[in-house]
């Protein structure tokens, strides 16, 4: 998944508690379901859910993932809207 600036998602193992991401997603059709989850910097998958929309809150230790789940008779194309909000801690 692209990051908040359209580039690579800033997944890291060092200092990953200094920022958080709210990722909202919504499939624009009733076709195939979407599996939403995350992977860490080592590529290990975290928990996932399947549906047509939702949200996830992750720190930068995780990279959000979206995957189409083909079901019989559901089609093979899905348009998905994704919004990413980024919060970065600042010294105060």
| Mean pLDDT, range 6-22, rounded to an integer | 70
pLDDT band for position 54 (cuts 50, 70, 90): very high
Confidence of residue 9 (pLDDT cuts 50, 70, 90): low
Each residue of 66-84: pLDDT tens digit? 888 877 766 666 788 989 8
Structure tokens at 66: 């979206």
């Amino acid at each position: 998944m692209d990051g908040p600036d359209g580039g690579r998602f800033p997944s890291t193992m060092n200092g990953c508690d200094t920022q958080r991401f709210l990722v909202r997603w919504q499939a624009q059709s009733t076709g195939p379901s979407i599996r939403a989850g995350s992977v860490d910097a080592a590529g290990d998958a975290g928990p996932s859910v399947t549906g047509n929309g939702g949200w996830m809150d992750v720190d930068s230790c995780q990279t959000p993932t979206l995957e189409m789940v083909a079901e019989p008779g559901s089609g093979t194309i899905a348009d998905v809207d994704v919004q990413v909000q980024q919060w970065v801690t600042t010294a105060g």
